[in-house]
Amino acid sequence: DAGIRDIPMTQMVYDAFREQRELNLMLGLQSNVEIGGRSGFIFNTKHGRPIMPAGVNSFLKNIVNAYNKKESKLAEEEKREPELMPPISSHTLRHTGCTRLGENNVNPKVMQYVMGHSDAQITMNVYNHIAEKSHVENEMSKMNLPETVPAVV
């Protein structure tokens, strides 16, 4: 049941979805398909069917492969090691989204709702990653403790 919910979005996301819907109308890509009582999908195939997760994953794989191919060729020309992108999936984007919510101090219960988890512990333990050591250092610096205070052991 937690998977079926209204998900809040920023104005920027709303505007991007509205622009995509307008583009779909101009290109004749309106979706007349109903799935699970839902219709009016925004991201559609050329046949008007909603793009499924496997299609998104295929698209992301193609982007990464194209980048890595170009980077490998450039690195060879420049006689250096290539800086290749790792594989990316829709699930990777989900993890990233949850991590960004955490980095922006979104309330864990709100994160739980947005992610569709029945238990906030799943959200906090599985999906919320600290991307870099600098994030920890930044949070600790907010405490603003003077260096002259001895540590209590």
**CB of 60 closer than 8 Å to CB of 89:** yes
Q: What tokens does 43 get?
A: 């991201």
What does pTM read for this prediction? 0.69
Identify the three-state secondary structure at position 114.
Answer: helix
Determine the Cα–Cα distance for residues 90 and 121; give it in Å rounded to an integer: 22
**CB of 148 closer than 8 Å to CB of 123:** no
**Nearest to 13, CA basis, from 100, 87, 120:** 100
Q: What tokens does 102 get?
A: 């955490």
pLDDT per residue rounded down to tens, the chain (153 residues): 666 788 888 899 999 999 999 998 898 887 788 888 888 889 888 888 888 889 999 999 999 999 999 999 999 999 999 999 999 999 999 888 888 888 788 888 888 888 888 888 888 877 666 555 666 677 777 776 655 555 555
Q: Give the torsion sign (CA, 44, 46, 49, 51).
A: negative
Strand partners for 35:
38
Residue boundaries of the structural domains of the chain: 6-51, 52-87, 89-130
